[in-house]
Every structure is written in structure tokens, then in C-alpha cells.
Amino acid sequence: MARLNGKATRIAVFSLVIIGLIFFLSNTSGPTYVQSVNKTKSNDANVVDQSQKSSVNGLFPDGRENATFVSLARNEDLWELVSAIRSVEDRFNVKYKYDWVFLNNEPFNDEFKTVMKTLVSGEAKFGVIPKEHWSYPEWISQEKAAQTRHDMKNIIYGSSESYRHMCRYESGFFYRHPLMLNYKYYWRVEPSTLLHCDVNFDVFKFMRENNKDYAFTITIHEFVDTIKTLWQTTKDFIKENPEVIAKDNLEKFVSNDGMESYNLCHYWTNFEVANMDFWRGEAYSKYFEYLDKNGGFFYERWGDAPVHSIAASLFLPQDRVHYFKEIGYFHGPYHNCPIEDSVREENKCMCKPNDDFTWKDYSCTRLYHDVKGLQKPKGWEKHTG
Ligand SMILES: Nc1nc2c(ncn2[C@@H]2O[C@H](COP(=O)(O)OP(=O)(O)O)[C@@H](O)[C@H]2O)c(=O)[nH]1
Ligand SMILES: *[C@@H]1O[C@H](CO)[C@@H](O)[C@H](O)[C@H]1NC(C)=O
Ligand SMILES: [Mg+2]
């Protein structure tokens, strides 16, 4: 009896320990990448529930498009980002109230969150980037990466390690962040940028109704030293995956010699409005993975701008790419400043037409118009110098 009792007790204790362990493990959540979500709506619970459901036309139940702003930033970027967001809010979002997702490789501090919550008119959401999206993959030699940073110290951001993580993140990961998975379209906003004109239409509705997947305001040539093997790697990828190439694409925007070489033209990604279905789709996913395995984000200094631009130019039909000529925009040192009086008046632009970068030689927007057969505005020739 005593022995039986002892055995029974041991079994009972053992079972309890196991059950307890299972209970403990099932309640230990992994790292959480959603810092906090600020509800600005009155009927919070209702909004949360509803937003999880998808409706037939792909809109949120309150009629907004399935879209968000997104800003990647450090805590110390706070005040430079404040001015950029204030400008977007005043010129556009005060009318439409889209959400704003903030992403950071470190947790945002309370000051950052408090200031942003009061600034944006939609919901403010703060996310931490998973470690594996902002660190070295196992196939990368960190010694070789360090050597590259040393060798490239005379090139802009050439010696920066964080800039490389940033470019890799913006190339292949931001659209996979848990907070971003709730949305289809995004508008990227960076610190120290500015809108020069009112935006009097729903940019996201425009994207959906006109079947646009990628839209830009400024184009420019890339520094060739940062992407020495990007084009060859791209061609190798295409040889292995010829099906990714879209019919009627914008190949001529990125290559002047029938794909032999890259002409360095790219959309300046500090402004970007795009459909994340494209980044999440098979062609781009395979492309990013191929580039990432190659190592050029670390062994060179591949930017997200040429990567996004080459993909959008080759893997999308050209009518899915759009230039927002009426969205006056500034990111140092360049401006997209409408030169047509009618556009300037209608949208209350405050930039100097002479500052416009669009028609200058170092821009690629003239080429974009020529490739697509688009009409250039009257007087563009006077703005090339
Ligand atoms: N969280 C975080 N954001 C970064 C980091 N480096 C750059 N960014 C963000 O990435 C974007 C591009 O960086 P920026 O310094 O503007 O580069 P530039 O426009 O190419 O000169 C901006 O939104 C920055 O706030 C970083 O180390 N951490
Ligand atoms: C918005 O888009 C995301 C990603 O495609 C999707 O998961 C979500 O269900 C959509 N929401 C609505 C309301 O349609
Ligand atoms: Mg910037």
C-alpha cells in the first residue's frame, strides 16, 4: 500500500510536471514583432474585428483602400520624420486617414511612439524587425563583407554596415513584416522629405482602379560602383527563369542595348507607392532570393532602388508602372516639381519650377516618357539645364 501509494504519487507528480511543461510551453510566445497598435477609432473592438475580414472589392469595411503608409526609421530619425509626415498628412492624408506602419530594427522608444500617434490621422502601428531580416544570412562571409566595406570607403555609404542591412530589408523583407501583411498597397515615406503640392485624389484608389502596381515621382542613375555585378546576376537569373519576363515590359527603361548592359536608370525608392502582391509574388520572390544568395547586398552595396526598379521594369507589363507627375516631392537634393502652370495652380504647389529634376540629364524620366510614348509637358526643353 505504502509502496503503491509512493508509486502513484510519483506518477501523479510526473504527470503534473509534464502537463505543466506543456501548458508553459504553449503559453510562451516567441519574440513579438508588433510593438503596439494605436487605435484612434472610437469603437476599437469593432474596427479590429472588421479589419481582419476581407470584403469582396478588397476595401476595408469603412471604405478605405487596402493600403498603408510605411516608414522605416530609427529613434533618432524622429524629428526629420515628423516634418515629412506632417507634410503628407496636411497635403493628403488628413482627407483619407490611411494607417501608418513604423518599422525599426530596434524597439521604438516612448517619445517616438507618442509623437507619431498624435501626428497621423489613421492608426499608428509600431513594429520591430525580426532579427533574421536584419542580420547576416549563414551563407555570407562576414570577413568578406568587412573587407568590402573597407575597400568601398570612398563610395557613398560604402563603409556602412547598417545601410546594407537597410537596403536588403527594403529589397526583400518589409512587405513580409506581420504588420504589413494586413495590407496590399503602401506608400513609403522617409525622413527629411516633403510634399510640394496638394494631392487631391486618393492615390491608392487610383492604383487599384487603373491596375497600377508600381508608381514613382523621381528617377535617377545609380552609382555604378555600388552594383558592379547586379546586372550580370540578373541576367543569370533570367536565363534560369525566363518565365519571369513580362510581355510589353519596360526593358528599354533599364537597358539601352537589348539587355546587354544596365543603363543605371532606376526609380528613386525613397518615394514609392506599390502593390505588395508584386513583391510577394513568385517572380520577385525568386529574384530576391537569387540576389540574396549571391551576396551582393554585402559584398557590393546593392540598393533597393535598382533592385526594385529592374524587377518592376522586366517582370511587369509597362502599363502597370506609373509616374505621378502631379505629386510634387522633395528628397534631398532632388525635386519632382510640376512645371505646368495648370498643374501647379490646381494642386497649390510651392516649389520652384526651375528646381525640377524631371527633365535634367541625370534623371531618367525623359527616357521613361520616350519608352512609353508619353507626351512630355510643354516647355520641358527649358528645364534640362
Ligand atoms: N531602423 C532603421 N532605419 C534605417 C537605418 N538606416 C536607414 N534607415 C531608414 O532607411 C531609409 C533610408 O535611409 P536614408 O538614411 O534616408 O538613406 P538615403 O535616402 O539613401 O540617403 C530611411 O527611412 C531611414 O530612416 C537603420 O539602421 N535602422
Ligand atoms: C488586404 O490585403 C491583404 C494582403 O493582400 C489581405 O490579406 C487582406 O485580407 C486584405 N484586406 C481586405 C479588407 O481586403
Ligand atoms: Mg533618405
- What residue ranges define each of the domains in the chain, with the CATH number in brackets? 43-130+173-193 (no CATH), 196-385 (3.90.550.10)
Q: Ligand 2 within 6 A of 58 CB?
A: yes
More confident residue, 191 or 7: 191
Q: Is 342 in the pocket of ligand 2 (CB under 6 A)?
A: no
Q: Each residue of 179-196: pLDDT tens digit? A: 999 999 999 999 999 999
Q: How far apart are CA 70 and CA 72, in angstroms?
A: 7
Give the ligand 2 atom nearest the CA of 181. 4
Exposure of 315 in the CB half-sphere (CA atoms within 13 A): 28
pLDDT band at 11 (very low <50, low <70, confident <90, very high): very low
CB 104 within 8 A of CB 74: yes
Q: What is the mean pLDDT of residues 331-357?
A: 98
- Is 183 a pocket residue for ligand 2 (Cβ < 6 Å)? yes
pLDDT tens digit sequence for 75-114: 999 999 999 999 999 999 999 999 999 999 999 999 999 9
How sure is the predictor about 36, in pLDDT bands with cuts at 50, 70 and 90? confident
Ligand 3 centroid, distance to 221 Cα (angstroms): 16
From the list 240, 294, 265, the residue with the least C-alpha distance to 370 is: 265
- Relative to the alpha carbon of 65, which ligand is closest? 2
Task: Give pLDDT, residue 304.
Answer: 98
Phi-psi region of 373 (alpha: psi -120 to 50; beta: other; left: phi over 0): left
**What angle do the packed helices 282-294 and 304-315 form, to 10 degrees?**
140
Asked, as a colleague might, if the bond just before 137 is cis with ω within 30 of 0, I would say no
pTM for the model stands at 0.90
Q: How far apart are CA 243 and CA 245, in angstroms?
A: 6
CA 262 to ligand 1 center in whole angstroms: 25
Nearest to 68 by CA among 76, 78, 60: 60
- Read off the pLDDT of residues 151-177 as tens digits, 9 standing for 90 and up: 999 999 999 999 999 999 999 999 999
Mean pLDDT of 132-138: 98
CA atoms within 13 A on the CB side of 376: 16
Atom from ligand 2 closest to the CA of residue 60: 13
111 classed as catalytic: no
For every residue of 236-250, DSSP letters joined together read HHHHH-GGGPPTT--
159, 150 contact by CB (below 8 A): yes
**145-152: average pLDDT:** 98
Question: Where does ligand 1 bind, in terms of residues with CB under 6 Å?
Answer: 72-74, 77, 104-105, 162-163, 166, 190-191, 270
% of the chain at pLDDT higher than 70: 87
Whether the predicted pLDDT of 244 surpasses 50: yes
pLDDT (mean) for 255-273? 98
Report yes or no: 106 and 75 within 8 Å, Cβ to Cβ. Answer: yes
pLDDT of residue 42: 39
**pLDDT of res. 264:** 98
Ligand located closest to 179 CA: 2
According to the model, what pLDDT value does residue 18 have? 47
Residue 352's region, left for phi above 0, alpha for psi from -120 to 50, else beta, is beta
Indicate which ligand has the atom closest to the C-alpha of 63. 2
Q: Out of 33, 69, 74, give the residue to mutate to test ligand 1, the one with the largest number of ligand atoms within 8 Å of its CB.
A: 74
pLDDT-based confidence at residue 385 (cuts at 50, 70, 90): confident
Q: Is the pLDDT of residue 199 over 50?
A: yes
pLDDT at 213 (0 to 100): 98
Q: Which amino acid is at 83?
A: S
Q: Which of 76, 77, 109, 297 to mutate to test the pocket of ligand 1 (most atoms within 8 A of CB)?
A: 77
Band of the pLDDT at 5, cuts 50, 70, 90?
low
Find the angle CA(320)-CA(324)-CA(330) to the nearest 5 degrees. Answer: 135
- Confidence category of residue 30, pLDDT binned at 50, 70, 90: low
Looking at residue 33, what is its pLDDT? Answer: 84
34 Cα: distance to centroid of ligand 1 (angstroms): 20
**Residue 7: pLDDT over 70:** no
Lowest mean pLDDT across 1-10, 68-77, 220-229, 249-258: 1-10
The pLDDT of residue 20:
43
pLDDT band at 10 (very low <50, low <70, confident <90, very high): low
Residue whose C-alpha cell is 513609403: 188
Specify whether the CB–CB gap between 192 and 331 falls below 8 A. Answer: yes
- CA 80 to chain CA centroid, nearest Å: 18
DSSP string, 132-195: GGSS--TTS-HHHHHHHHHHTTTSTTTT-HHHHHHHHHHHHTGGGSTTGGG-SEEEE--TTEEE
The CA distance from 15 to 294, in Å, is 51
Q: Looking at 89, 123, 272, 326, which residue is catalytic?
A: 272
pLDDT at 22 over 60: no
